[in-house]
Amino acid sequence: MSETLVQIGSGAGTGDPAPPRRGRPEWLRIRLATPAAYHKVRRLVDGLKLNTVCEEARCPNIYECWGQHGTATFMILGDTCTRRCGFCAVKSGRPPALPDPAEPGHVAEAVAAMGLRHAVITSVDRDDLPDGGAGHWAAVIHAVHAANPGCAVEVLTPDFRGVPGALDTVLAAAPGVFSHNMETVPRVFRRARPGSRWERSLDLLAEASRRRDAGEYAGRVKTGIMVGIGETKEEVYATLGEIRRAGVEVMTLGQYLQPTSDHLPVDRWVAPEEFAEYRERALALGFAHCEAGPLVRSSYHAHEHVPAGPAVNCR
């Protein structure tokens, strides 16, 4: 096993550490380790021709998740997004006309091979598809459940452009956690996500929460935002309140890290103490769980965001 200490830069999470950037605080240093488990996950993902957000979004936690826990967040519907968000490293463009019909089976096979009890799945935006990809989402969830009884499935979906019936399709497949990221505060949202709308994202979460409260959906509802992308502390507090009023139960907050020089710049480095304040505020507002810290991402320690039980424990 090789191990070294690096600062996170553009390229973190791709397998090759980028040169450290000036001014990075000490708390954004990670221990890069590539034990046998890391290479096992990489071979499995490559062999099944799967995409992971760990690689595509250059997640700083890839070495911990793949190497220490043997987990990965699968990214379905291809590797090409139809939107161009200012913070995201996933490539944009015109994806293949139809999703890969073998993908649901391959994801299910990977979950089984990893022995997961909590599988996290996300996707690119597919605005080119009539249902935004909801039908493919359902097929993946069903495939994972069929091949892995007792495994909880957490989904981190796009907003499906508000297409009627898309949420119905996904929730009918019974994911254990339904998640959609708000990403940032309202004032910054349009600059960060020019192809999306704050209100539409919040409405999606509110509708999922309404169905949970009505007994139509048995899972939890979750979202996350980044900080250090131009927001103020007061705006974060206000956003937490709006999200909680929408019925969301689980919240994640992490530091925005600029993937490349072509993406939105980092506005400031948020200290761990400020993240602790956000967590305290979230819990005071009634969130059941809040994960907040510089390296926190939506799926980081995801199995800890839901109640303990046979269907939601990590391996």
Task: Give the E-state strand segments of 180-297 in sequence order.
Answer: 220-227, 250-255, 289-292
Q: Is residue 44 part of a domain?
A: yes
Q: Is residue 65 part of a domain?
A: yes
Q: Is residue 310 part of a domain?
A: no
Q: Is residue 278 part of a domain?
A: yes
Q: What is the token pair recorded at 11?
A: 């390229």
Which sign does the torsion angle of CA 143, 63, 95, 88 carry?
Answer: positive
Contact 158, 133 (CB under 8 A): yes
Burial label for 5, CB within 10 Å (0-12, 13-18, 19+), is: exposed
**Number of domains observed in the structure of the chain:** 1
Q: Is residue 231 part of a domain?
A: yes
The tens digit of pLDDT for each residue in 182-219 reads 999 999 999 999 989 999 999 999 999 999 999 999 99
Q: Is residue 252 part of a domain?
A: yes
Amino acid identity for residue 114 in this structure: M
CATH code for the domain in which residue 243 is found: 3.20.20.70
Residue 97 banded pLDDT, cuts 50, 70, 90 = confident
Q: Bigger pLDDT: 16 or 222?
A: 222
In angstroms, the CA 289 to CA 279 distance is 9
Domain of residue 268 covers: 3-305
For 8, which DSSP code?
A: -
Q: What is the pTM of this model?
A: 0.84
